[in-house]
Amino acid sequence: MSKDFDYDVLIIGAGPGGYVAAIRAAQLGLKTACVESRDTLGGTCLNVGCIPSKAMLHASEYFDAAANGTMASMGVDVTPKLNLDKMHDQRRDAVKGLTGGIEFLFKKNKVDWKKGFASFQDAHTVKIGDETVTAKDIVIATGSSVTSLPGVEIDNDKGVVVDSTGALELPKVPKKMVVIGGGVIGLELGSVWRRLGAEVICVEFLDQILPGMDGDVRKEAHKIFKKQGITFKLSTKVTGVTVKGKKATLTLEPAAGGDEEKIEADCVLVSIGRKPNTDGLGLENIGLETNDRGQIETDHEFRTSVEGVWAVGDVIPGPMLAHKAEDEGIAVAENIAGETGIVNHDVIPSVVYTMPEIAGIGLTEEQAKEKGEIKVGKFPMLANSRAKTNHEPDGFVKVIADAKTDRVLGVWAIASVAGTMIAEAAIAMEFGATSEDIAYTSHAHPTHPEATKEAAMAVRGKPIHI
C-alpha cells in the first residue's frame, strides 16, 4: 500500500468495466475503492441495460410463443393472458438480486464503495461530495448514456417519448410504438413490445438495419423481423416529434431529402446510439482531452495520456458491450498491479438477443474481402436437426476463412441460440483455428452448434446435411 495516498487504486464507475476492475485489483492485493453515483452497483448493464432488457425479452418470448401458435404447434394449447405488472416485478427482482450480488462481492473482496459523483481535482485526487480521496492510480469507467435527437425531448416519466430506460418500464402495452433507430436497442425492445401486442414501426436512417454487422446477416434479420410483424421505414430520418397529452406526432423525411410524412404513436423510443460519460468529471483539471467522438483515448494497456489515469469500457473507443468492458476491467487492474493484462479487440462477440438471436465475431464478409482472398461456408438452420425439431428454422451460420491459410476470420449466426453458439467461434479464433479445425472437432448431436461445424465444412464445399 502506498503511504502517500488513501488508496492504491480508485475506480470511477461501478458498471461492468469498473466493478470488475475493482474486484480484480483487490484480488491482486491493492487497496481499492470504487465510486458510484447511482444508488446501486452494476452500472448501465445491471440496472437499466443488459439484465432488465433480457428479463423482458425472455418473459415476452414465452408470451409470444403461446400467442403466435409456436406452443400450439408442439401440442401445447394455451391462451396467454398478460400480467404486465408481474413481468415488471420479475425484471426488478433480477436487477435487485444481481446488483446486490456485486455489493456482496465488494464486501467479500474488501473493495470500499464510495457513494457519490466523482470529479478530478488533480491526477491523484478526486472529490466526491464533501469528501476528497486520493489514489496512486485512478481508472475512469464512467460508461455511456443515451444520445438524444435534436428537437426530441425524452421524458421517461411521462412514457410517451422514452429512451431504453423508459421503454423497459412502460406501465401498459402501447397500441402503436415508433422506434427511432434500427440498431440493437431498437430491435430488442421493439421486439419486446411487439410480442406483447404493440404495433411497432422502426425508422432507420440507413438503407439497412444493424449497421456494423455482416451484410447477409443484416438482410436476413430484416426479413425475419418483417415477417414477425415489425414495419420498417429504411433510409428515413425523424426531423421532429411533438407531444400532445398521451400522443406523439413524428415528422419523417427521406434520408436523402424529400417530402415530409407525419405518423402518430402512443410511444416513441429514441435508440440512435450512446455517448461516453465525461461531463462533470473534471477532465480539464488533469489536462485530459476527449477525441471528436467524446471518447477518452488509451494505449493498449488502457493508460490515458495522463500519468496514473487509466480508462476502460464504454467511455473509450470500441464496441459498447458489457463483456468488452469487463475484459478491459480485468486487464487494467492487472496492468496497474504490474502484471500483463491484454484484451484481443479483434475477437469480441456481439449478440442481439431477439428471437432468433443474431451473433457475430471477427470480420464481416465485406471487411474480409477488402483484406484479401477468402472462402465462405454457410449452413442454414433449417438443415440442422435440432433447430428443425424445435420449430426454429430461421437463420444460418456463416464461417469466413482466409483462402490461403484457412484461418477463421469471422463467424456470423442467426439462430435461436446464436449468442451461446458464438462462444465456440470466440475460442476457435482466440486460438487461431482454421475452418478445418472446427470441421474436424466433434460436436454433440443433436445440437445447434452442429450448424457451425457444417458451415466450417462448407468452407471447403463439403457439408454433409445439405
Of 21 and 270, CB closest to ligand NAI: 270
Chosen from ligand NAI, ligand FAD, none, partner binding at 273 (C-beta under 5 to 8 Å by type)? ligand NAI
Of 17 and 186, CB closest to ligand NAI: 186
Of 115 and 262, CB closest to ligand FAD: 115
For CA atoms 158, 161, 167, 170, give the dihedral sign: positive
Type of residue found at 22: A
Q: By three-state DSSP, how is residue 261 classified?
A: strand
Report strand pairing: 350-352 vs 357-362. Answer: antiparallel
Chosen from ligand FAD, ligand NAI, none, partner binding at 17 (C-beta under 5 to 8 Å by type)? ligand FAD
**Is residue 445 annotated as part of the catalytic site, yes or no?**
yes
Number of Cβ atoms within 10 Å of the Cβ of 350: 19
Q: By three-state DSSP, how is residue 201 classified?
A: strand
Of 184 and 316, CB closest to ligand NAI: 184
Q: How far is the CB of 355 from ligand FAD (least distance, A)?
A: 14
The C-alpha cell at 415 is 439462430
Q: How far is the CB of 117 from ligand FAD (least distance, A)?
A: 4
Q: How far is the CB of 306 from ligand FAD (least distance, A)?
A: 16
The site for ligand FAD (CB under 6 A) is made up of 12-18, 35-38, 43-45, 49-50, 53, 117-118, 141-144, 164, 185, 277, 281, 313-314, 320-323, 325, 353
Catalytic residue among 222, 300, 391, 445: 445
Partners of residue 134 on adjacent β-strands: 125
Q: How far is the CB of 347 from ligand NAI (least distance, A)?
A: 16
The site for ligand NAI (CB under 6 A) is made up of 149, 180-186, 188, 203-206, 211, 237-238, 271-274, 319-321, 350-353
Of 296 and 322, CB closest to ligand FAD: 322
Chosen from ligand NAI, ligand FAD, none, partner binding at 325 (C-beta under 5 to 8 Å by type)? ligand FAD
Chosen from ligand FAD, ligand NAI, none, partner binding at 37 (C-beta under 5 to 8 Å by type)? ligand FAD
State yes or no: cis peptide before 319, omega within 30 of 0: no
Q: How far is the CB of 30 from ligand NAI (least distance, A)?
A: 30
Please identify every residue annotated as catalytic: 445
